[in-house]
Amino acid sequence: MSKSLVSIVKYEKPLDSVRKAVELSKGLDHLPLSAKVFIKPNIVFWTKATNFPKWGVITTSRVIEDIVELLKERGIDDITIGEGMVLGKAKDKETPAHAFETLGYNTLKKRYGVKAFNVFERDLEKVDLGDGIELTFSSDIMQSDFVVDIPAMKTHNQTVVSLGIKNLKGMIDLESRKICHNADPKRDLNFHVARLADKMPPMLTILDGIYTLEKGPSFDGRMHRSNILVASSDVLSADMVGAKILGYAPSQVPHLVIAAENSNRPYDLSDVEIVGEQIEDVEVFHKSDFEYTDDENGCMPLALAKSEIKGLYYRKFDLSMCTYCSGVNGMILTAIRSAWKGERWDDVEVLTGKAMKPTPGMGKTILVGKCMVDANKDNPDINEMIAIKGCPPQPKSIIKALHQAGINVDPTIFDNTELAPGFFLSRYEGKPEFDESFFQIN
């Protein structure tokens, strides 16, 4: 039985390192002549309002340009870069355009004739993934001849890791993403993510680990300069190796276990041949999630508990909370932390996602988002219900609800949410290894 080939290469030099990773993996050996190639980067977040730390959050422009050069060397003229990033407003065209310009994709257009676009502005098509799953994907990626999947290499607070398979979630529309984040414990986020690559065209996966991210997927995680590239023409094999490099056996990553079982493959790497560096020489454990406390004072993230907050029950979000409410969740936690003045709150419980149920005996219960409101609006265990409607909820509704609960958050915090990511840059000041030029194309 032949083994899947995965290369691990230390990043040392522009173009040469990516070339080595690709050649060792033989990842472009089966690239069709005159192929229509789709490059899928990872742009999990963007804001026009401020510069923010991108290391390990976003695929480096350095690796994107290098793979474009390698494709051009093979005579490929039809190259598209496409992404469906998370947006605060569904019809926002300005933010993706700003991201593509800042990351240098428009320079690649001028230099190499590469196309770059927001997939939400293009055609979409339904794809039957089997087992009753039908999701709507970008037509451009589905109708391409070849895909180059280039995720940033990170751990993830819902799926343990976010690598090649998970990166393809950026190719489905908003409704499909909500389907993935459902309340069914058996057909949950991992169940859906495991199938995202099943109907893809032939694909080369390159895990961009020049920078890696701990406690991802976004800018509030901890970033590392790791100088690692992983490449394979088999996305599952690349992801299993990538997970191990981040400190997790594939058996610890539910969507990789499901993907392996769906394709009748082992997930112990016994059918994978690794070339280049060895896993044990580059493996560094990355925490995947933030810690929570649960005691007589309340339930909340450890960062809030350290402020000695009392009377707040803010359970850890589950897999049913979608990406859009995830951004709102972080905003609420930040506002609550700033509002604490030392006087115990009235046993306020905050519920998120689609699956949580209220705890009997709480003083007030805040339901965050349309899904949570619909799930619990008639629940008899709620003493005083405070509903934050919306999909996702809007700042005015959040402020009103928190004030009603006796948590007097500062409204101006919500006025400057687009600036908040910039505050995290201070963590990396004076550390030259965190180089902004990796996200520029000159």
Domain boundaries, the chain: 4-288, 292-410
Mean pLDDT of the region 230-245: 98
**262 Cβ contact partners less than 8 Å away, ≥ 6 residues apart:** 194, 195, 198
pLDDT value at residue 91: 84
Residue 179 sits at the vertex; the CA angle it makes with 173 and 180, to the nearest 5 degrees, is 90
pLDDT value at residue 323: 84
CA neighbor of 192 nearest in space, from 4, 356, 322: 322
Look-up: residue for tokens 């090649």? 164
**Cα distances (angstroms) measured from residue 347 to each of 178, 252, 261, 360:** 30, 35, 44, 11
Whether 96 and 118 have beta carbons less than 8 Å apart is answered as: yes
Mean pLDDT of the region 269-282: 98
Does domain 4-288 match CATH 3.40.50.1220?
no
Strand ordering across the sheet containing 364-368: 292-295, 298-301, 312-314, 348-351, 364-368, 385-388
DSSP string, 157-199: TTTEEESHHHHGGGGB-HHHHHHHS-S-SSS-HHHHHTTTTTT
pLDDT value at residue 400: 97
Query: Beta strands 115-118 and 222-232: pairing type?
Result: unpaired
- H or E element in which residue 293 lies: strand 292-295
DSSP-derived 3-state class of residue 18: helix
- Alpha helix (H) ranges present in 230-306? 235-245, 254-262, 279-282, 302-305
Q: pTM of the entire structure?
A: 0.96
CA neighbor of 154 nearest in space, from 95, 103, 223: 223
- Tell me: the pLDDT tens digits for 27-69? 999 999 999 999 999 999 899 999 999 999 999 999 999 999 9
Determine if residue 205 is left, alpha or beta; phi over 0 gives left, psi from -120 to 50 gives alpha, anything else beta. beta
For residue 102, which amino acid is it?
A: T
Confidence of residue 151 (pLDDT cuts 50, 70, 90): very high
pLDDT greater than 70 at residue 145: yes
Mean pLDDT of the region 235-248: 98
**339 Cβ contact partners less than 8 Å away, ≥ 6 residues apart:** 402, 407, 408, 409, 410
pLDDT value at residue 89: 76
Six token digits for residue 154: 């990170």
**Percent of all residues in the chain with a pLDDT value above 70, rounded to a whole number:** 100
Lowest mean pLDDT among 18-22, 244-248, 321-325: 321-325
Mean pLDDT of the region 80-84: 98
pLDDT greater than 80 at residue 1: no
Using CA atoms, how far apart are residues 30 and 324, in angstroms rounded to an integer?
A: 38
Mean pLDDT of the region 180-200: 97
